[in-house]
Amino acid sequence: MKTDEMVLLLGDRVALKVPSFMVPSSMSHKGDYLISVSEMVNWLGGVARDLGVEIYTGFAARELVVEDGAVRGIKLGEKGLNREGGRQPNYVPGEVLEARVTVLGEGSAGLLSEALVRRFSLGADRNAQVYSLGVKEIIRLSDQNSFGANRVIRMVGFPSRPDIFGGGAIYSMGADSVSIVLVMGLDWRYCDLDPQRELQIFKSHSFIRKLIAGGEVVAYGAKTIPEGGFYSVPELTAPGAIHREDQPSHVTFSEEGKDSGCSQEFGCHPCAAFCPAEVYKFKGDELILSPSNCLHCQTCRLKCPHQVIQWRVPEGGDGPSYRLM
Amino acid sequence: MQSVDGDTAQVPPQIAEELGITHIAYATSFDFPEGQLQIRRITSRGAEIVAPQSYPCVITVAKWTEPPNALFSRTRWAYGQILFQWSAADIGADDARLGLPGSRTMVNRIFSPKELSRRTCVFEKDMTRLVGLLAEAYARKSKTAQEVRTEQPYQVLGGKKPHYAGEVWVYIEHNQGEVSAVSPALPFRPEFWMSCCRIGGNRKPPSWQSYWAAR
């Protein structure tokens, strides 16, 4: 990054650049590298294979195998179950993979990592983890656009209300594309807040609208981000296991949920609003699930006010196929 | 899954015939009741359950909603195998018998078959009218079947000329005396057709009547 600017957005028209001397050095990314996580994972996978690491995709880790007080491996999920849980002709059982050391690299809010933390009390005396949600679009710019490469603009203010933690950013993805992202702390208290809608409102600010004029959205995604900081990091090792935070996940997720009287309590269905992928829709009070829409950001599991949305790892191979994110 | 033979799905049956082993096409599921392999396969009229008469056998699966799943252990085993890639030159193949020039079929056009009839449910309580409806339906069905049988013979489209002279294997499904509208594969009984269906060969192609008589 050669250019790093911070801008304060006031209302939907005013944009004030924050002088660089007022931006803490820890928040400046000038001179840093910006890497697509998807592309880095692909590259890293090639490096690992060259070093003799075996990588198998399409297998979902379902649960930890714990024996004699130590992690002995993981159990894979079954494949070939129908919607009711019955076995189809292509059913294969979940196998147990045993290892001397199990390294969990699930990314944000990993299910096995959380199970490990609970099982071995790794989070005792630590703060509870809190999360924000980032929704992002990649926009291919028009030929006339002069945003340029190696540039990032970070923004605070519009459209988030003052009581919502977060901010936005737009940064170069090469010379002809930009990423635009809006991050919001998941502790917002508005039952009908829709992150995707907020992102569109964010893009409608006159300052941003000019930056992306004539552009075309080529990809979008969503992801939760651990925000608890150092004091929320649990112990990173347990007998037989090492837990590495913030690793790109090779495990895919899906979710299913049900309404728990939210409409009576809140006057709306929060999951229909906070899910950035429209997995949860309602026809009156009838829930219509579209799991295939899922971006596997896990917002629903974390944000559901009644915590009734149950998560389980789907069959391996499912999930969003990010190539540019 | 998609075959690399121009979607004619002929490569697996052809290989099976070349190897002289049993072949079952359009499989959608299988079962092992009492240790006997049973294959459920698509037919033009629905589905049927068959069992291979001999082993080994080639089973080709239809594009279906239940893709095969591999066990992790078998996947890991497969990744550990050394694969040899053979080219046409390695096996000394005749170029004239490879690819499109060597194909025994040619795709002229791809189309969806016409719907011959639309089935409806009629709940008629009056016996006289019910008999009338039955008679009318029977006459209409007979007429439709007659129309199918008297369709124009197939014409090679686009002025193309056949560029192949040799054996032509045809797989015909029939049901209650009618030739199936969909007969897309190579034969399960090649010896019958090899003995009588030769273009440019010594024997005349059989008439339909002789085919039915042979059945």
What are the tens digits of pLDDT across the range A23-39?
888 888 888 998 888 88
| The pLDDT of residue B180 | 61
Q: How many beta-carbon contacts under 8 Å exist across A and B?
A: 30
Strand partners, A220: A137
Q: What DSSP letter does each residue of A237-264 carry, written as one string? A: EETTEEE-TTPPP-S--EEE----SHHH
Average pLDDT, rounded, for chain A: 85
Nearest CA in chain A to B64: A90
Q: What percent of chain A has pLDDT over 70?
A: 91
CB neighbours of residue B212 within 10 Å: 12
Which among B72, B75, B76, B77 is the top mutation candidate for probing chain A, defined by the most A β-carbons within 10 Å of its own β-carbon? Answer: B72
Residue A104 pLDDT class (50, 70, 90 cuts): very high
Q: Does B69 touch chain A (CB under 8 A)?
A: yes
Residues of A in contact with B66 (CB under 8 A): 80, 88-90
Task: Please report, as a single letter, which amino acid is at residue A209.
Answer: R
Q: Does ipTM come in above 0.85?
A: no
Whole-model pTM: value is 0.66
Q: What DSSP letter does each residue of A25-59 carry, written as one string? A: GGG--TT-----HHHHHHHHHHHHHHTT-----S-
Site of tokens 């690992």: A48
Q: Are the beta carbons of B70 and A92 separated by less than 8 Å?
A: yes
What are the tens digits of pLDDT across the range A151-201?
999 999 999 888 999 999 999 988 889 999 999 999 999 989 999 999 999
- Dist. CA B59–CA B23, nearest whole Å: 6
Tokens of A208: 């941003």
Q: Is the pLDDT of residue B202 over 60?
A: no
CB neighbours of residue A62 within 10 Å: 18
Task: Please report, as a single letter, which amino acid is at residue A92.
Answer: V
Which among A95, A251, A315, A318 is the top mutation candidate for probing chain B, defined by the most B β-carbons within 10 Å of its own β-carbon? Answer: A95
Cis preceding linkage at A24, omega within 30? no
Q: What percent of chain A has pLDDT over 90?
A: 42
